[in-house]
């Protein structure tokens, strides 16, 4: 069991999300899904195990039982009973100790995984918190001071001594390039306008979307019907300021969507913060798939190495009375 | 690569445009295609989200085409009818009635006499796009959406009717409200309705 002493700006339970868009339910899940996978791998969890997603200012957590935890994602300051707590490494926390996360200089989010996986309310096949609809995770809301979270038991294991390579960390600002694929709604003029200048991430940025502040000339099409949204869709509302769709975006939208961010760069969206500068770079379908395969090879290599460690270094599980 | 009726949307989705979209969704639900993560319907559109690591868009498009070639329009025998009691007291009710050139009682009677159908679900959990409004009852959307539409609001927007399952922003014209719970995770089927279901409004307490 862990206790929330201070909740941080927005700390939620997230996993790999749900697949119920056909019912109008957003995909949800960790905004930086690679951070979730790798934080889980560090503590020997399955890739989609529920963990804490922390945002901009992290929580302070008191542990009431021994645990093995790992933090991965944006470079948050963290301290365990006042001693620096490094990213990208699994470390034991003893009952009674306090883990305090601070802020981050770049990026927006990190994932704190606990060996065994956090418990959370299941809803439609996932324990991810959907803040807007108010279900999943901790009563469908962000953590509050005084909340208690449990995790599932797993056999104790010696933590790997290795650190994750910084190369596996999702890119963070202040300057980011997003690879994009044009859709049939991208006219040549619109494509030129969207790829010809950097955009600034505005203050209206949350788990549903990141609003950019510079406007392009938007096509006005009141007759456009509502169509299914896809992750990473770049919507263009009538005011011409693009919106990048994040995991909690609504399932359908009526605005033109001239670009879609390449799958390999979706984790980068989860790291955008106000003031970051975003440049869109057009790629082909083939290039986008090649980039995703390369990224997946690197991540799976790290996951496999950590799995091998845990296979060797896990103590046989004995029920304690 | 994919022809006019199936086109890529980003690197992990294909958009299928076909009058058979609803039937294709039912078919993919019954007989999943490998590599397909989920399929999301809209009106005569099905967006198929796939895993690019296990599925290629060209072969997936070919598979979807083969499925389409075998399908017939969705059979209606499974359709249920939901009768929704509505209290007609929405802030836009008088405006809507005037827009149709009717008095309020006439307008309500015409709306309740209209058989509607769930075209597809989307927007928020439990929201249904209800089709079947005759042109005379179709309303232009608000120029500026309301920031908060109360849960249960019955609304008209463009060719659609709808009921807001929970408080959200919304740009449709509000004519009334219903007490029916559209989304409840405690129910075996959390969402009240499915695509193809029939819907009728009736005056609450009448």
Cis, bond preceding A174 (omega within 30 deg of 0) = yes
**Residue B115 tokens, joined:** 């058989």
Q: Are the C-beta atoms of residues A235 and A257 closer than 8 Å to each other?
A: yes
Nearest-Cα distance to chain A for B85, in Å, is 23
Q: Are B39 and B49 in contact (CB under 8 A)?
A: yes
Whether the Cβ atoms of residue A263 and residue B10 lie closer than 8 Å to each other = yes
Phi-psi region of A8 (alpha: psi -120 to 50; beta: other; left: phi over 0): left
Q: Is B13 touching A (CB cutoff 8 A)?
A: yes
On chain B, the residues whose CB falls within 8 A of the CB of A256 are none
Average pLDDT over residues B19-34: 93
Q: What are A56-86's pLDDT values in tens digits?
A: 999 999 999 999 999 999 999 999 999 999 9
**Is the pLDDT confidence value at A88 over 60?**
yes
- Cα separation, A107 vs A172, in Å, equals 5
Question: Residues of B75-111 as b/e, b for ≥16 C-beta within 10 angstroms?
Answer: eeeeeeebebebebebebbeebbebbebeeeebbebb
pLDDT given for residue A317 in this prediction = 63
Is there a contact between A32 and A267 (Cβ–Cβ < 8 Å)? Answer: yes
Q: From CA A277, how far away is CA A202, in angstroms rounded?
A: 10
Rounded CA-CA distance B162/B175 in Å is 10
Give the DSSP letter string of B85-111: EEB---TTHHHHHHHHTS-HHHHHHHH
Question: Is the pLDDT reported for residue B4 higher than 60?
Answer: no
Smallest CA-to-CA distance from A30 within A51, A44, A45 is with A51
Minimal Cα–Cα distance from A141 to chain B, Å? 16
Q: How far is A226 from chain B (nearest CA, A)?
A: 7
CB A218 within 8 A of CB A237: yes
C-alpha distance across the termini of chain A, in Å: 17
Predicted local confidence at residue B75, as pLDDT: 58
The two tokens of residue A67 are 């645990």
Q: Has residue A222 got a pLDDT over 80? A: no
Report whether B16 contacts B6 (CB < 8 A).
yes
Residues above pLDDT 90, as percent of chain B: 80
pLDDT tens digits, one per residue of A173-201: 999 999 999 999 999 999 999 999 999 99
- Is residue B51 within 8 A of residue B31, CB to CB? The reply is no
Q: Per the structure block, which two tokens stand in for A173? A: 């600002």
Joined together, the tokens standing for residue A309 give: 């460690």
Dihedral pair phi/psi, residue A109, rounded to 5° = -140, 150
The ipTM estimated for the assembled molecules is: 0.95
In angstroms, rounded to a whole number, what is the distance separating the alpha carbons of residues B153 and B142?
15
- Any idea which of A39-53, A115-129, A216-230, B30-44 has the lowest mean pLDDT? A216-230
Tokens of A199: 């955009």
Residue A13: name the closest of A165, A144, A153 by CA: A144
Mean pLDDT of A225-237: 93
pLDDT over threshold 90, residue A171: yes
- Chain A residues touching B185 at Cβ < 8 A: 123-124, 135
Chain B neighbors of A262, CB-CB under 8 A: 10-11
CB contact under 8 A, B123 and A252: yes
Strands B45-50 and A109-114: unpaired
Residue B162 and residue B128: Cα distance in Å, rounded?
6
Residues B100 and A204: their CA atoms lie apart, in Å, by 38
Using an 8 Å CB-CB cutoff, list chain B residues near A135: 185
The rounded distance, in Å, linking the Cα atoms of A300 and A297 is 5
pTM (two decimals):
0.93
pLDDT at A113 over 70: yes
Q: Are B193 and B83 in contact (CB under 8 A)?
A: no
- In this prediction, residues B37-53 reach a mean pLDDT of 96
Q: Do A225 and B38 touch (CB under 8 A)?
A: no
Identify whether the C-beta of residue A240 lies closer than 8 Å to the C-beta of residue A212.
no
Q: Is A295 on the interface with B (CB under 8 A)?
A: no
Separation in Å, CA A185 to CA A153, A164, A255, A281: 50, 40, 10, 17
CA distances in angstroms from A205 to A200, A233, B48, listed in the order given: 11, 15, 27
Residues of chain B with Cβ-Cβ distance to A288 below 8 Å are 10-11, 52
Backbone angles phi, psi at A309, to 5 degrees: -60, -50
**Is residue B1's pLDDT more than 80?**
no
Q: Supply φ then ψ for residue A201, to 5 degrees.
A: -75, 130
Contact A226 B125 (CB under 8 A): no
Please provide the DSSP assignment of A112-160 as one string. Answer: EEETT-B--B-BTTB---BTTTTBSBBTTB---TT-EE-B-----BPPP
Contact call for A250 and B37, based on CB within 8 A: no
Mean pLDDT of A125-143: 96
For residue A260, list chain B residues with Cβ-Cβ distance below 8 A: 9-11, 13
Rounded distance between C-alpha atoms, residue A271 and residue A109, angstroms = 6
Specify the pLDDT at position B17: 96
Task: Grade residue A320 by pLDDT with cuts at 50, 70 and 90.
Answer: low
User: Within an 8 Å CB–CB cutoff, is residue A171 touching chain B?
Assistant: no
Give the percent of chain A with pLDDT over 70: 98
**pLDDT above 60 for A148:** yes
Q: Where are the alpha helices (DSSP H) in chain B?
A: 21-30, 57-70, 93-100, 104-112
């Amino acid at each position: 069991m862990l206790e929330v002493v201070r909740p941080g700006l927005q700390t939620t339970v997230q996993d790999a999300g749900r697949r119920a868009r056909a019912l109008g339910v957003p995909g949800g899940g960790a905004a930086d899904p690679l951070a979730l996978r790798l934080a889980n791998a560090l503590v020997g969890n399955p890739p989609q195990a529920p963990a804490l997603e922390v945002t901009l200012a992290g929580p302070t957590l008191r542990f009431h039982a021994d645990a093995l935890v790992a933090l991965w994602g944006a470079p948050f300051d963290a301290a365990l009973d006042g001693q620096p707590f490094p990213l990208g490494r699994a470390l034991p926390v003893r009952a009674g100790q306090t883990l305090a996360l601070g802020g981050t200089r770049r990026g927006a989010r990190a994932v704190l995984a606990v060996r065994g996986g956090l418990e959370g309310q299941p809803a439609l096949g996932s324990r991810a918190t959907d803040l807007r609809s108010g279900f999943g995770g901790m009563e469908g809301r962000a953590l509050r001071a005084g909340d208690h979270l449990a995790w599932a038991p797993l056999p104790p294991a010696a933590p790997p001594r290795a650190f994750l390579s910084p190369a596996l960390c999702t890119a963070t600002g202040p300057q980011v390039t997003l690879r994009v694929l044009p859709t049939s709604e991208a006219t040549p003029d619109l494509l030129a306008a969207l790829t010809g200048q950097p955009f600034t991430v505005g203050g209206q940025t949350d788990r549903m979307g990141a609003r950019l502040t510079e406007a392009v000339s938007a096509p006005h099409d009141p007759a456009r019907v509502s169509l299914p949204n896809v992750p990473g869709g770049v919507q263009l509302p009538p005011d011409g300021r693009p919106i990048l769709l994040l995991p909690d975006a609504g399932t359908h939208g009526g605005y033109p969507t001239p670009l879609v961010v390449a799958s390999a760069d979706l984790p980068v969206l989860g790291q955008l913060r106000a003031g970051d500068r975003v440049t869109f770079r057009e790629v082909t379908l083939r290039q986008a798939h090649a980039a995703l395969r390369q990224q997946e090879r690197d991540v799976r290599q790290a996951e496999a190495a950590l799995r091998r460690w845990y296979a060797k270094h896990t103590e046989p599980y004995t029920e304690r009375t | 690569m994919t022809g006019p009726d199936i086109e890529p949307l980003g690197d992990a989705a294909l958009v299928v445009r076909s009058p058979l979209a609803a039937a294709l969704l039912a078919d993919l639900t019954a007989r999943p295609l490998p590599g397909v993560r989920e399929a999301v319907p809209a009106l005569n559109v099905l967006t198929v989200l796939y895993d690019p690591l296990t599925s290629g868009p060209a072969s997936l498009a070919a598979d979807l085409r083969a499925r389409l070639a075998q399908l017939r329009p969705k059979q209606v025998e499974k359709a249920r009818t939901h009768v929704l009691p509505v209290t007609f007291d929405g802030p836009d009710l008088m405006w809507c009635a005037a827009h149709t050139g009717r008095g309020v009682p006439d307008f309500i009677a015409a709306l309740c006499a209209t058989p509607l159908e769930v075209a597809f679900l989307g927007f928020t959990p439990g929201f249904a796009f209800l089709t079947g409004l005759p042109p005379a009852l179709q309303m232009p959307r608000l120029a500026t959406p309301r920031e908060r539409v109360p849960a249960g609001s019955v609304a008209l927007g463009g060719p659609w009717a709808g009921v807001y399952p929970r408080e959200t922003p919304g740009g449709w014209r509000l004519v009334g409200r219903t007490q029916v719970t559209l989304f409840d995770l405690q129910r075996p089927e959390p969402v009240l309705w499915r695509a193809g279901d029939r819907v009728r409004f009736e005056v609450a307490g009448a």
